[in-house]
Amino acid sequence: MPNNHFKKGELYSFITGKASIAIARRLQKKFNTSGLNLTIEQWSVLYHLWKEDGISQQELCNATFRDKPSITRLVDNLEKINLVKRVPSEHDRRINLIFLTKQAQKLQEETMALAENTLNEALTGVPAEKIDVCKEVLQIVYDNLK
């Protein structure tokens, strides 16, 4: 029994991810008006470094769901604005370990608060059970396709 539950108009918004684009844009605006000179993509890299500092670019690829060239350039730009530093691994000279600078460590609290804020705005009026179902469905979609 196939899942033919998508009328044409709905198909489009599922594929283009209108909701998550709207969330990302709202968060970007919050960054901008807070004077944070940071793109959402850069933030998404810092996000994983705040969870575990000093991981490799390859691990950042896996965590952020991006390919290697994308991470190379994001790290390039983060290095330029002094938020991370590449440190060659001593055990494997192919690997760069990426470390947060002090300046980046200071950004965690403020940006995470803005992110939680944004999600609360986005989910206003949505009951908790439905949020859980939605998270579950999106996780299955991701697992089905990866």
Partner DNA sequence: TTTATATAGTTGCACAAACAACTATATGCC
Partner DNA sequence: GGCATATAGTTGTTTGTGCAACTATATAAA
Which residues bind to its own copies, rule: CB under 8 A?
Answer: 2-6, 8, 10-27, 40, 44, 47-48, 51, 64-65, 112, 115-116, 118-126, 128, 130-142, 144-146
* Residue 29 C-beta: closest distance to DNA, Å: 6
Dihedral angle of Cα 126, 16, 41, 105, to the nearest 10 degrees:
10
> From the list DNA, its own copies, none, which binds 20 (C-beta under 5 to 8 Å, kind-based)?
its own copies
Task: Write the DSSP string, 80-91.
Answer: HTTSEEEEE-SS
Q: Is 12 exposed, middle or buried (0-12, 13-18, 19+ CB in 10 A)?
A: exposed
For DNA, the closer of residues 62 and 130 by Cβ is 62
- Structure token pair of residue 65: 């769901």
For DNA, the closer of residues 52 and 129 by Cβ is 52
Q: Is 67 in the site for DNA (CB under 7 A)?
A: yes
Site for DNA in 69-128 (CB under 7 A): 69-77, 86, 92-97
Name 95's Cβ contacts closer than 8 Å, sequence gap at least 6.
56, 57, 58, 88, 89
Q: Give the SS3 label for residue 17.
A: coil
> From the list its own copies, DNA, none, which binds 62 (C-beta under 5 to 8 Å, kind-based)?
none
On whether the CB atoms of residues 97 and 79 are closer than 8 A, the answer is no
For DNA, the closer of residues 85 and 112 by Cβ is 85
Q: If binding means CB under 7 A, how many residues of this protein chain bind DNA?
A: 31
Residue ranges that bind DNA, judged by CB under 7 A: 21, 25, 28-29, 32, 39, 41-42, 56-58, 61, 66-77, 86, 92-97
